């Protein structure tokens, strides 16, 4: 039963992309097919912005997949194809935007925030350590012990 469920789940999970990319493409070599699959996974669909070209059903995504395929067939390099897309749609089309002045905050920002967080925690912990213990008085400690013992002797 479990195996059947797992099988059905795998089938269902695999179905999404299969339904999206219904075009049939013939590649001359397995490398070309790999490049095609890699490129359409790395390029963003501009219509449904949280999907890549591979997953998207949008008309434009289909056209752009076709464009990628044709360019590969015509011997364009991966860089050529990425440049072609960036020239038309901007860095936005890339799921991995290049590092430059306009995207610096995007790349460094999370690490800056993490560093600030670590710093705040470090300062806080150090301060706590330097503070004297809450109870330093021996007499007070004795009283606390006595209270605890009393509690243990007569359970309510």
Partner 1 sequence: MWRYLLPLGLFVGLVALLAVGLNLNPREVPSPFIGKPAPPFTLPRLHRPEATVSPADFRGQVWLLNVWASWCVSCRAEHPVLNALARRQEVILVGLNYKDQRNDALQWLAERGDPYTVVAVDAEGKAGIDWGVYGVPETFVVDKRGIIRLKHTGPVTRDVLRDEILPLIRKLKKEPA
Interface residues toward partner 1, by CB under 8 A: 46-47, 49, 59-60, 63-64, 67, 86-90, 92
Tally of CA atoms within 13 A in the half-sphere of 102 that contains its CB: 5
Nearer to partner 1, 47 or 135 (CB): 47
Q: Is 47:58 a contact under the CB 8 Å cutoff?
A: yes
Judged by beta carbon, residue 3 or residue 129, the one nearer partner 1 is 129
Taking the CB of residue 143, how many other CB atoms lie within 10 A of it?
Answer: 12
The conformation of residue 101, written as its DSSP 8-state character, comes to: G
CB of 91: closest distance to partner 1 in angstroms? 8
CB 27, min distance to partner 1, A: 22
Specify the residue, 20 or 56, whose C-beta has the smaller distance to partner 1: 56
Nearest residue to 95 (alpha-carbon basis) of 40, 14, 137: 40
Measured from the CB atom, the residue of 121 and 144 that comes closer to partner 1 is: 121
Shortest Cβ 57–partner 1 spacing (Å): 15
The strand pairing partners of 44, in sequence order, are 52
Q: C-beta of 81: minimal distance to partner 1 in Å?
A: 13
Q: 117 by DSSP, 3-state: which?
A: helix
């Amino acid at each position: 039963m479990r195996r059947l469920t797992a099988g059905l789940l795998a089938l269902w999970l695999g179905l999404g992309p299969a339904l999206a990319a219904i075009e049939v493409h013939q590649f001359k070599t397995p490398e070309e097919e790999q490049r095609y699959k890699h490129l359409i996974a790395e390029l963003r669909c501009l219509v449904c912005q949280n999907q890549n070209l591979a997953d998207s059903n949008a008309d434009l995504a289909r056209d752009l997949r076709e464009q990628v395929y044709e360019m590969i067939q015509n011997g364009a390099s991966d860089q050529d194809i990425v440049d072609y897309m960036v020239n038309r749609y901007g860095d936005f089309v890339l799921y991995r935007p290049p590092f430059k002045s306009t995207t610096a905050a995007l790349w460094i920002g999370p690490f800056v925030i993490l560093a600030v967080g670590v710093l705040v925690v470090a300062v806080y912990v150090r301060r706590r350590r330097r503070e004297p213990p809450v109870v330093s008085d021996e007499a007070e400690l004795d009283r606390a012990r006595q209270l605890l013992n009393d509690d243990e002797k007569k359970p309510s």
